[in-house]
Structure 1
Amino acid sequence: MDNVLTLILAGGKGTRLEPLTRDRAKPAVPFGGLYRIIDFTLSNCINSDLRRIMVLTQFKARSLDLHIRQGWNFLSPEMHEFVDSLPPQQRLGEQWYTGTADAIYQNIYSIEAENPKYILILAGDHIYKMDYREMLEHHIERDADLTVGCIPVPLSESKHFGVVQTDAENHVTGFIEKPATTEPMPGDKKHFLASMGIYVFTAKELYELLIADAGTPDSNHDFGRNIIPAMIQGTIGRRPFKVMAHRFKDMNNKPMPYWRDVGTIDAYYQANMDLVSVEPELNLYDASWPIRTLQPQMPPPKFVFYSDGPPGKARRGEAHESIVCNGSIVSGGRVWRSILAPNVRINSYAQVEESILFDNVNVGRYCRIRRAIIDKDVKIPEHMEIGYNAEADRALGLTISEQGIVVVPKAHSFSR
């Protein structure tokens, strides 16, 4: 895959994930205790033997840049392998990226310098496992100008995705970005075919399209809203373009393909909860398709104290159906269906249920936490309850999602 350059779009604001994105880019949000969201896309690239990767960053990128620099610096420069973080260059003006296509266009100088024949464009904020080589091979075999990665999605979700319409040979005949409603797929009344935000372009065609779109005053400079519909309608460029659809086939070794857009608090929470099932939908333990990340140097997790007693009186350090990362200590507390990131402390008689705790969270004695996301560097005082009374949670300055998930912001200070 030496003739392929991979571009990962990682510059979105992630406003629907606030307050988790208050101080970090969405792809840098922790996931599954140990990982960052972008680790799944980057791992797919490495496992697909794609080793020339540019990550296009923008908003609140410090933690993302640091994670890439420290955790993804193992490739060989001598073999011209790299994972580079690329902030806005402002070579073509003083504005920041105005859309997905504009993000690529503003970096066209850096892209052309790599002289790729094909360009793979990915989103840095989805959770899935995919071998991109099959999609690249289909693109080359069909002599396509653009190939769009697609997956069936329930009809109720159309307002969140680009809708792809195809003929029997998978030629894309229509593309509508995030319509309020849409028609179902042929033969499937419950789903429509959605764009995954994964694109393979033949490089010379992409350059032509980006330049033409940049010169269009009323364009949003976005692939889904402007460039792809214009390619299909024949209103951009000098000739008709061949646009193909590629149906997603994952590497998860499960009956149903797993792909999650974790752009909202509820979607993010549910994707994490998928991991703590007895047979999780997303398999993190498949050695043939490893998910890599920056591994903190910490001691193993520890569970201490064991004494009988009624609920609230038993002092047992235990965790059930949970993920507990290195450096964490469950000291006489109880954890159920939860994820504890590195260096979390659960103190005696505390109960944590169906919750996600980020790094350096300390839960005081007798606390009760349910269906919550606790961002990093939070110390929860003794006897505090979170997730049991919405009015009380709001009074503490906490965020509550549509489905009732309580979010404690980073370094939040509780006052009584």
Structure 2
Amino acid sequence: MADSRVFAMVLAGGEGKRLAPLTADRAKPAVPFGGNYRLIDFSLSNLVNAGQLKIAVLTQYKSESLGRHIATTWRLSPLLGNYVTPVPAQMRRGPSWFAGSADAIYQNLNLIHDENPHYICVFGADHVFRMDPRQMLEQHIALGAGVTVAGIRVPLGEANQFGVIETDGESRTIGAFREKPKDPVGLSDSPGEVLASMGNYVFTADVLVDAVTRDAADPSSAHDIGGNIIPDLVARGQACVWDFVNSTVPGASERDLRYWRDVGTLDAYYDAHMDLISVDPSFNLYNSEWPILTWPEQLPPAKFVFEEDGRVGAAMNSMVCAGVVVSGGTVRRSILSPGVHVHSHALVEGCVVLHDTDVGRGATLRNTIVDKDVRIEPGARVGVDPETDKARFPVSPNGVVVIKKGTVVEA
């Protein structure tokens, strides 16, 4: 059942520079993940599963791929007034693009005025997680907060990577909100942890409108929700925190409930994929009670062919999507997206291979992220010789090779 009190805005304008070259032709929320999905599918699935069915996705950089995905995948029922719509930067408030996440909302206040909601969920578009926003909304209403910030517990030593939420003792009122502090204060019930912002918020509508309007008039502001809006509302005593440790989701295990990942670097992106193919993954894609939704391409089933001496089409400890053909090659600990073809005597090991890539006969791929439409020529070797790889491709700090979209890799 749709909740008519709530309007959702998903912030999908990030450039994703740390994920380059995967973001060379697409916005970060449009980056493929887990074989069939795009990163934005996780936030949208959580909102839609919770009955929040009026959603504006605010886009800006390289948004064509993202807009096409939303238009073809996220078609809710217009008969019931439900929608997910991409909203590109339109310069409604002057001759400038979005100057920050708060400015993105300010430039689209017309959307809020049109819907006239009581509450607004503002979610990020590029994290991998499963949560029920209704629980945060219920606490927000019960406490009469102006904004509620979703917080996840992280080790004290990682505080300098996040916006950190500090509370007054046992209270859920936020006493301070600090970006990447060097002197973090541990939680009263767990001194070795802090609450880090997950980038998801519930606002009372008039509080958000007032806050972004005041922020727009401040020339010294960076016009950022985490950097400007939340500290302002903290100072006004209007900000509360919702602790992700209290999250419950149908069908989710204890490990799954605590999972939230910012896959904003190549190594984080790669590691999150390797978790998916583990025997007992931290994040369960197979929870049908709270599904991660998308619209897979209309493709035939995956196919494995040849069973001869030294030539067996097989995939072990891997995820293989529709349209894949493993033709006498070997796939281990890898994720093959739709349309991938692995030819005879090829080896794909510890790899994330995106759509419509062709791995030629006798080729070897190890510890590599391969973007879409790549051709690996017969006999080519990637992830075998680190010095050769660095001369040809981007390589992450942890040694993961990345092959950009449309590349032809010669032997």
Q: TM-score, normalised by structure 1?
A: 0.94
* Corresponding residue for residue 206 of structure 2: 204
Post-superposition shift, 1:180? 4.3
User: For the Cα contact (< 8 Å) 1:129–1:250, is it kept in 2?
Assistant: no
Selected match of 2:360 from 357, 364, 370:
364
* Corresponding residue for residue 120 of structure 1: 121
Matched, 1:3 2:8: no
Matches within 5 A, 1:350-389: 350-389=346-385
Matches within 5 A, 1:9-408: 9-73=11-75, 75-167=76-168, 168-233=170-235, 240-248=236-244, 249=247, 251=249, 253-256=252-255, 257-308=258-309, 314-396=310-392, 398-408=393-403
Letter in 2 for 1:366: G
Partners of 1:362 and 1:181 in 2: how far apart?
50
Cα 1:320–1:161 shift into 2, 3 Å: same
User: For the Cα contact (< 8 Å) 1:250–1:258, is it kept in 2?
Assistant: no
Partners of 1:92 and 1:54 in 2: how far apart?
18
Post-superposition shift, 1:102? 0.7
User: For the Cα contact (< 8 Å) 2:377–2:408, is it kept in 1?
Assistant: no
Partners of 1:325 and 1:302 in 2: how far apart?
10
Post-superposition shift, 1:184? 2.6
- Any idea what the Cα deviations from partners look like across 1:196-216, whole Å, max 9, x if unmatched? 011111001111111111111
User: For the Cα contact (< 8 Å) 1:155–1:181, is it kept in 2?
Assistant: no
For 2:409, what is the secondary structure of its paired residue?
coil
Post-superposition shift, 1:189? 4.0
For 1:399, what is the secondary structure of its paired residue?
coil
Structure 1, gaps ≥5 residues long: 234-239, 309-313
For 1:59, what is the secondary structure of its paired residue?
coil
For 2:55, what is the secondary structure of its paired residue?
strand
Letter in 2 for 1:148: V
Aligned CA RMSD, in angstroms, stands at: 1.3
Please say which of residues 326-335 and 179-188 is displaced more in the overlay.
179-188
Post-superposition shift, 1:44? 0.6
- Any idea what the Cα deviations from partners look like across 1:358-397, whole Å, max 9, x if unmatched? 001011111111111000000101111111212101222x
Partners of 1:357 and 1:287 in 2: how far apart?
25
Where do 4+ consecutive residues of structure 1 move more than 6 Å?
Answer: none
Please say which of residues 149-158 and 404-413 is displaced more in the overlay.
149-158
For 2:387, what is the secondary structure of its paired residue?
helix
Partners of 1:101 and 1:14 in 2: how far apart?
18
Post-superposition shift, 1:295? 1.4
- Any idea what the Cα deviations from partners look like across 1:100-157, whole Å, max 9, x if unmatched? 1111111111221111110000000000111101111110111111100000112333
For 2:270, what is the secondary structure of its paired residue?
helix
Post-superposition shift, 1:49? 0.6
Partners of 1:244 and 1:209 in 2: how far apart?
16
User: For the Cα contact (< 8 Å) 1:344–1:361, is it kept in 2?
Assistant: yes
Cα 1:319–1:415 shift into 2, 3 Å: closer
Q: TM-score, normalised by structure 2?
A: 0.96
For 2:323, what is the secondary structure of its paired residue?
coil
Post-superposition shift, 1:182? 2.3
Matched, 1:412 2:411: no
Partners of 1:402 and 1:102 in 2: how far apart?
34
For 1:85, what is the secondary structure of its paired residue?
strand
Post-superposition shift, 1:347? 0.7
Count of paired positions: 403
Partners of 1:190 and 1:354 in 2: how far apart?
34
For 2:408, what is the secondary structure of its paired residue?
coil
Partners of 1:155 and 1:16 in 2: how far apart?
24
Partners of 1:105 and 1:349 in 2: how far apart?
56
User: For the Cα contact (< 8 Å) 2:364–2:379, is it kept in 1?
Assistant: yes
Post-superposition shift, 1:263? 0.5
Post-superposition shift, 1:250? 5.1
Partners of 2:367 and 2:183 in 1: how far apart?
31
Identity of aligned residues (%): 47
- Any idea what the Cα deviations from partners look like across 1:57-85, whole Å, max 9, x if unmatched? 00000010000000111x12121100010
Please say which of residues 213-222 and 243-252 is displaced more in the overlay.
243-252
User: For the Cα contact (< 8 Å) 2:147–2:233, is it kept in 1?
Assistant: no
Post-superposition shift, 1:181? 5.0
User: For the Cα contact (< 8 Å) 1:121–1:198, is it kept in 2?
Assistant: yes
Structure 2, gaps ≥5 residues long: none
User: For the Cα contact (< 8 Å) 2:353–2:371, is it kept in 1?
Assistant: yes
Letter in 1 for 2:401: V
